[in-house]
Amino acid sequence: MRQYGHIHLNNINLHLGQDKQRFQALDQVSFEVQAGEFVCLLGPSGCGKSTLLGALAGHLPISSGSMLLDQKTIEKPSSDRGLVFQQHTLFPWKSVLDNVCFGLKMKGISRAQRQAQAAQMIELVGLKGFEHKYPAELSGGMQQRVEIARVLINQPRVLLMDEPFGALDAQTRLKMQELLLEIWQSVQTSVLFITHDIDEALFLADRVLIMSHRPGRIIEEIKLDFPRPRQVDLVTSTEFTQIKKHCIQVLKQATHTELSRLNPLGLNQKAAV
């Protein structure tokens, strides 16, 4: 595997839309993801989390600031940055094995070599024995396992994850969180994980960065010292609950600030209309 990646964002501003529809999505966003670190971006829907990930993936140009991966400017998509979405992007006509192999096939790796590497990745995500199944034959959680394997086979320095478990039921989601931590601890990659779920962020991360409403800004950083490997009973501990309450207060205050900005006269909703 390649070495862990180090992300450095400095004063990122990003605008979307054209002419009168143009608006600011991100405002002076600065942070780092250290090599091998697991960082969660936590914030309300529409705050710019996914926009930021799109910029880091190389799909959206920033308006100003700098984005570096291992001291090199991020300008376009690269296999150094693996991206996992909430909805899987698997090819429905390809088997699990062929889906996981796809990236290596595009690189010209021999069939035998890519299938051997894919088999290792499939076993890593707990799907050994499902190599010849098709996406439609798999559960949502299993589909996401395939998606993760397909990204990891390209040996990314950084794994960018955009609410990858958001569409799963609560029990499957928890199992996937545990699996992700096992995978992360066994491969050399850094992780930037987007979520609006406080429990998920606190269970997974070394650090949580809380974002404001749009335009998105980093309004608080929380370092988590919970021991690893983490167990599910962590979420019922006193320390976890205290930090969760603090996150709720930060997000509530951010919402209050946003409402005050939109309604500076303090009018009730009916009067404002």
> What is the end-to-end Cα distance of the chain in Å, rounded?
57
The span from the CA of 155 to the CA of 143, in Å, is: 19
CATH code of 238's domain:
3.40.50.300
Determine how many CB atoms are found less than 10 A away from the CB of residue 212. Answer: 22
Please tell me the predicted confidence (pLDDT) of residue 272.
33
Helix (H, G, I), strand (E, B) or coil at 239: helix
* Within a domain: 148: no
pTM of the model: 0.90
* Within a domain: 28: yes
* Within a domain: 18: yes
135-153 as b/e: b if 16+ CB within 10 A: beebebbbbbbbbbbbbbb
Which region among 7-21, 65-79, 166-180, 259-273 has the lowest average model confidence (pLDDT)?
A: 259-273
Average pLDDT over all residues of the chain: 90
Above 90 in pLDDT, residue 87? no
* Within a domain: 246: yes
Domain span at residue 223 reads 7-80+156-272
Nearest alpha-carbon partner for 160 in 195, 111, 112: 195
The per-residue pLDDT for range 113-170, each reduced to its tens digit, is 999 999 999 999 999 999 999 999 999 999 999 999 999 999 999 999 999 998 899 9
Q: How far, in Å, are 12, 13, 122, 229 from residue 178 at the CA level? A: 32, 34, 16, 9
Helix (H, G, I), strand (E, B) or coil at 205: coil
Q: What's the structural domain count of the chain?
A: 1
37-52 as b/e: b if 16+ CB within 10 A: bbbbbbbbeebbbbbb
**Contact predicate 214/46, CB 8 Å:** yes
Amino acid at residue number 114: R
* Within a domain: 233: yes
171: Cβ contacts below 8 Å, ≥ 6 apart? none
* Within a domain: 230: yes
* Within a domain: 1: no
Please tell me the predicted confidence (pLDDT) of residue 216.
93
* Within a domain: 237: yes
Distance of CA 163 to the CA centre of its chain: 6
DSSP state of 216: B
